[in-house]
């Protein structure tokens, strides 16, 4: 059976729920809604991992197992949860890992799927790559809003998204669901 990990980066708790830095969690929620349409043979509800470093939800169909992972370690320590999930689900290759994260270098409403191209200043991405290594695929979700950005990036990413920005972000996620499907089938 082929196992694919889709790890959405963000910060746990209501305080961070609709912040720019939680774009990965927002995307993971949409992917969790979409997957049963494609992988409806068996699925689980969100569950807490054995060591409480992440929550996960599992989907299966035929020879495919897709695990959605939501780290509970806060952004800067996401690598700990990613490494634990890879171990727990016996994922040996980073080719089977899709990392979903916010991207300050992309405008809100834009999204890109890339291999080996990511923000070098994103502490969550840095944490994951320093723990599991390179070779992941990235779903990078734009969060930049130039007209609002008059503060440093580390403070900006913790700002709440406006209603209009949430709509734009969700549209960008929708536009990449076919890329998520391609990753699952690869």
Provide the annotated active-site residues: 21
| Inter-axis angle of helices 23-38 and 177-185, nearest 10 | 70
> Can you state the percent helix, strand and coil of the chain, rounding each to 5?
40, 30, 30
Give the number of other Cβ atoms within 10 Å of residue 67's Cβ: 22
Task: Report the C-alpha gap between 60 and 31 in whole angstroms.
Answer: 14
C-alpha dihedral sign at 173, 52, 57, 13: negative
DSSP secondary-structure letter at 19? B
């Amino acid at each position: 059976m082929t196992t694919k990990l889709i790890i959405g980066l963000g910060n746990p708790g209501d305080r961070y729920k609709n912040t720019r830095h939680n774009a990965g969690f927002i995307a993971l929620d949409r992917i969790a809604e979409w997957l049963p349409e494609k992988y409806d043979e068996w699925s689980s509800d969100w569950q807490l991992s054995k060591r409480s470093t992440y929550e996960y939800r599992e989907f299966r169909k035929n020879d495919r197992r897709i695990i959605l992972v939501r780290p509970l370690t806060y952004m800067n320590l996401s690598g700990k949860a990613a490494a634990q999930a890879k171990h727990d689900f016996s994922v040996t290759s980073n080719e089977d890992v899709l990392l979903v994260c916010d991207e300050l270098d992309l405008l809100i409403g834009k999204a890109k799927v890339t291999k080996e191209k990511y923000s070098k200043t994103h502490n969550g991405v840095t944490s994951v790559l320093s723990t599991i290594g390179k070779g992941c695929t990235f779903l990078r979700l734009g969060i930049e809003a130039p007209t609002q950005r008059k503060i440093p990036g580390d403070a900006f990413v913790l700002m709440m998204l406006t209603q209009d920005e949430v709509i734009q972000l969700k549209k960008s996620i929708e536009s990449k669901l076919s890329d998520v499907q391609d990753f699952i089938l690869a």
